[in-house]
Amino acid sequence: MKKYEEYRDSGVEWIGEIPEHWEYRKMKFLFIDISQKNKPNEVLLSVTQNQGVVPRNWVENRMVMPSGNLESFKYIKKGDFCISLRSFEGGLEYCHHDGIVSPAYTVLKGVFTHFPLFYKYLFKSQIFIDEMQLSIVGIREGKNISYELLKYSHIPIPPLQEQKAIADFLDDKCAKVDALVSVKEQQIALLKERRQAVIHQAVTKGLDSNVERKDSGIDWIGDIPKHWITLKVKYNFILSGGGTPSKENNSYWNGNIPWVSPKDMKSLYINRTEDLITEDAIKNSSVKLISKGSLLMVVRSGILQRTIPVCFANIPLTINQDIKAITANGAIGITFFYYFIKGTESFLLKDWVKDGATVESIEIPYFLNYYVPIPPIAEQEDIVSYLEAQTSKIDQAIVQKQEQILKLKEYKQSLINEVVTGKLKVS
């Protein structure tokens, strides 16, 4: 791609130099805040960061339907823009369909001859999103973009035909990048399925396919090697619980002892946590110190709809009431048990989580009385060594795909930034 022949300084820091024949103006001269209401029969729309403003039935994760008077909802037309409650994170949203949105949103309508799809890209570009940070009102969860402030920001105005050419170019290039990203994501999904299958096979069938077998007594496992045994969890492990020290007691918090909650359970080993408690909390509250090497398992969380988070304590730490600490006390090695959970969690979720529970939770009696197929200790060690080697290869492949996706997304965003501000010319 080439640059334009002549540039001039826009005098606007975030825009920089623009092509000589481009203009730039404050947003207030290009877009106005409108609030047209009393259209309750129009299509109800959702404002999303990844799809823009679309009918609610286009959105996979359906939002809660509003109750009450729809007369107060704002009317928005295709080609208008919306300032969402999270615009400071993802820019302004382009409207793909006429309808109504919550009165909490700001609706912007163009008041000059423009090509909306060009501004769709401009308003989602990272450099514009960075510029929007100057227009934030509120703090923390209450952050929002104020159009009363944003309307004084300058934006570039290419000639109308160039606006259309830029939008067409970005439609094509972004679609190709998105297609490549989709392929990589599918490859990652297949690698994760492969990882799951490798673990499942090893922990339920062993590494030797030629050994004599017997019925395990567990329907979904079927046959296991004849020399394996099955025992209940409670005969092989000690379970420890946790708790939450009183938030009102300042002497319990901001110490140097890690306190684990489900949000910390994102990696194989826990070395640090967001929250820290004190020795006083251990002495005078329900939390107890968990020894290094213990297996931690989330037993109460919405994430149990999909997976069972388990990881190892790589340091002495404490846990909250939604987690259990597991230490070996029998014929099953703790690392083998970790792989058993990760390789068979789709089945375990059905067997350990109570039907009809309002909050997803592992029923401890179900867990403790569950039968696990157990190889001899030496064979467990062989299986663990095999799985560490195999899963490491798969994990490396997954990381490589994730890095490729990141680079593709960075390229896409860089291309948008450069084209919508005229740093590169669309031919």
How far, rounded to the nearest angstrom, does the alpha carbon of residue 220 sit from its chain's CA centroid?
31
63: tokens are: 């939002």
Q: Containing H/E element for 94?
A: strand 93-94
pLDDT of residue 96: 96
Q: In the chain, pLDDT over 70 holds for what percent of residues?
A: 96
Find, among 342, 312, 307, the residue nearest to 327 by Cα. Answer: 312
What is the pLDDT, as a whole number, of residue 86?
Answer: 85
Confidence of residue 63 (pLDDT cuts 50, 70, 90): low
- Determine the residue type at 240: S
Amino acid 85: pLDDT: 85
pLDDT over 70 (residue 7): yes
Identify residue 176 by its one-letter amino acid code: K
Band of pLDDT at residue 141, cut at 50, 70 and 90: low
Over 70: is that where the pLDDT of 358 sits? no
Q: How far apart are CA 76 and CA 66, in angstroms?
A: 17
Phi, psi of 231 (to 5 degrees): -135, 155
What is the model's pLDDT at position 190?
98
pLDDT of residue 383: 98
Residue 108 predicted with pLDDT over 80: yes
State mean pLDDT over 219-240. 96
- The pLDDT of residue 305 is 87
Residue 10 has pLDDT above 80, yes or no: yes
Question: Residues 344-354: pLDDT tens digits?
Answer: 999 999 999 87
Rg of the chain, C-alpha, whole Å: 28
CA distance 334 to 128: 51
Select the more confidently predicted residue: 59 or 94. 94
Nearest-angstrom CA–CA distance, 44 and 312: 47
What confidence tier does 205 reach under pLDDT thresholds 50, 70, 90? very high
Average pLDDT over residues 153-175: 97
Mean pLDDT to the nearest integer, 89-109: 95
Q: Residue 359: pLDDT band by 50, 70, 90 thresholds?
A: low
Are 313 and 290 in contact by the 8 Å Cβ rule? The answer is yes
Give which of 292, 370, 365, 293 is closest to 333, Cα–Cα: 293
CA distance 194 to 384: 17
Q: What is the pLDDT of residue 68?
A: 63
- Which residue did the predictor score with more confidence, 98 or 68? 98
> Is the model's pLDDT at 62 over the cut of 90?
no
What's the rounded mean pLDDT across residues 212-240? 96
176 vs 85, 179, 242, 374, 399, CA distance in Å? Answer: 30, 5, 49, 49, 22
Residue 66 has pLDDT above 80, yes or no: no
Residue with structure tokens 């609610």?
56
Query: Does the structure show a pLDDT above 70 at 280?
Result: yes
Whether residue 67 has pLDDT greater than 60: no
What pTM, to 2 d.p., does this model score?
A: 0.85
Q: Calculate mean pLDDT across residues 129-148.
A: 85
> Tens digits of per-residue pLDDT, 299-328?
999 889 889 999 999 999 999 999 999 999
- What pLDDT band is residue 373 in, cutting at 50, 70 and 90? very high
- Which domains does the chain possess? 23-157 (3.90.220.20), 229-374 (3.90.220.20)
Nearest to 154, CA basis, from 321, 15, 332, 273? 15
pLDDT of residue 61: 67
Residue range 374-385, pLDDT digits in tens = 999 999 999 999
Residue 313's beta-bridge partner residues? Answer: 270
